[in-house]
Amino acid sequence: VLGRSILKIGILTPSVIAGPPETFRKQVEARCIVGVERKGKALALHLHGNSTIPPAYLLVRLGMTGQIVVAPRAAPLLPHTHVRMALDEGADELRYCDSRRFGRLRCCSRKELSNIFGSLGADALQITEEQFRQSLYGRRGAIKGLLMNQAIISGLGNIYADEALFKAQIHPETPAGEITNSAARKLLNAIKTVLRRAVDLQGTSFRDYIDIEGRPGNFRARLCVYQRTGKPCLRCGTSIRRILVCGRSSHFCPRCQRRLRVFVPRGVAARGRGRSH
Ligand SMILES: [Zn+2]
């Protein structure tokens, strides 16, 4: 979409737009896309400004099931298509589809975008080892919850958090502050490796995810633990288990990802032991 202009917008479902749809339309129509930026799971298309209009930013949050695709205008509409943005001469469209409608489109100023990006923790692919260690320091909560907390580290969801913890051989309920420096380094490497590999394979599709070219992700076949409950661990053959951590299902190998025994608060340790049999 870089260098292409959004000519005209058709809003089929106003509720996917944050703020008044008419304002959104006025702010976005007849603008050229001059840049694309991402932090964590938030995408921003930079819209060209001029002497009379300041630049604007089209923020896209896909939520659980959002899809943003470029499609020929003549192509049949996918179910749950909510916004159509005609590109250039109108032969192609940028389409926003979302079956569960947790995603949102929003037009904002540079200042608003900076505030939104500023509220997100360091991007998971950019975060340094030092920043990562600092973010774990003194935290009693489960590492799994911390990895999914977008205000601390942005970009990881349930799938990639489970996969990274498996790769680093860390139990999802381990209190974040008890992770040693060497384990933190291993975990950060695992996070970046898992994310890069998933990006190379265009992501992970269970039901809905497709990339901007409309291709489903191929990372699903590479998943080691996520939604493999009861199947053998690819490393040791033990059955993969599923537990709830911070209200989200977490998949792990009870043998490869043992609970740390040191400094574990008593209540948490008892629960962990109970569940591991
Ligand atoms: Zn294992």
> Quick one: pLDDT at residue 120?
98
Task: Using the mean position of ligand 1's atoms as its centre, give its distance from the Cα of residue 258 in Å.
Answer: 10
- pLDDT, tens digit (0-9, with 9 covering 90-100), for 74-99: 999 988 999 999 999 889 999 999 99
CA of 212 to the centre of ligand 1 (A): 35
Higher pLDDT, 221 or 143: 143
Question: 173 C-alpha vs ligand 1 centroid, how far in Å?
Answer: 16
What's the gap in Å between 257 CA and the centre of ligand 1? Answer: 7
Distance 85 CA to ligand 1 centre (A): 47
Q: At 11, is the pLDDT very low, low, confident or very high (cuts 50, 70, 90)?
A: very high
Measured on CA atoms in the order 266, 272, 275, 277, is the torsion positive or negative? negative
Q: Which residues, at least 6 apart from 79, have a Cβ–Cβ distance to it below 8 Å? A: 97, 99
What is the helix, strand, coil percentage profile of the chain, to 5? 30, 30, 45
User: Mean per-residue pLDDT for 197-213?
Assistant: 77
Among the residue ranges 15-24, 84-93, 220-229, 268-277, the one predicted with the least confidence is: 268-277
Tens digits of residue pLDDT in 159-201: 999 999 999 999 999 999 999 999 999 999 999 999 999 888 8
Which residue shows structure tokens 């692919």?
125
Name the least confident of 125-129, 168-172, 201-205. 201-205
Q: How far is ligand 1, taken at its centre, from the CA of residue 169, in Å?
A: 9
How remote is the CA of residue 167 from the centroid of ligand 1, in Å?
A: 10
Burial class (CB in 10 A: 0-12, 13-18, 19+), 133: middle
Query: From the CA of 100, how far away is ligand 1's center (Å)?
Result: 34
C-alpha dihedral, 182 to 188 to 190 to 193, nearest 10°: -140
Instruction: Name the percent of the chain lying above pLDDT 90.
Output: 79
- Model confidence band, residue 277 (pLDDT cutoffs 50, 70, 90): very low
In a 10 Å sphere around its CB, with 0-12 CB exposed, 13-18 middle and 19+ buried, how is residue 44 labelled?
A: buried
Q: How far is CA 245 from CA 92, 163, 172, 197, in A?
A: 43, 15, 7, 25
Q: Does position 35 have pLDDT exceeding 50, yes or no?
A: yes
- pLDDT band per the 50, 70, 90 thresholds, residue 270: very low
CA of residue 234 to ligand 1 center, whole Å:
7
C-alpha of residue 83 to centroid of ligand 1, in Å: 45
Average pLDDT for 245-249: 94
pLDDT > 70: what percent of the chain? 92
Distance 127 CA to ligand 1 centre (A): 28
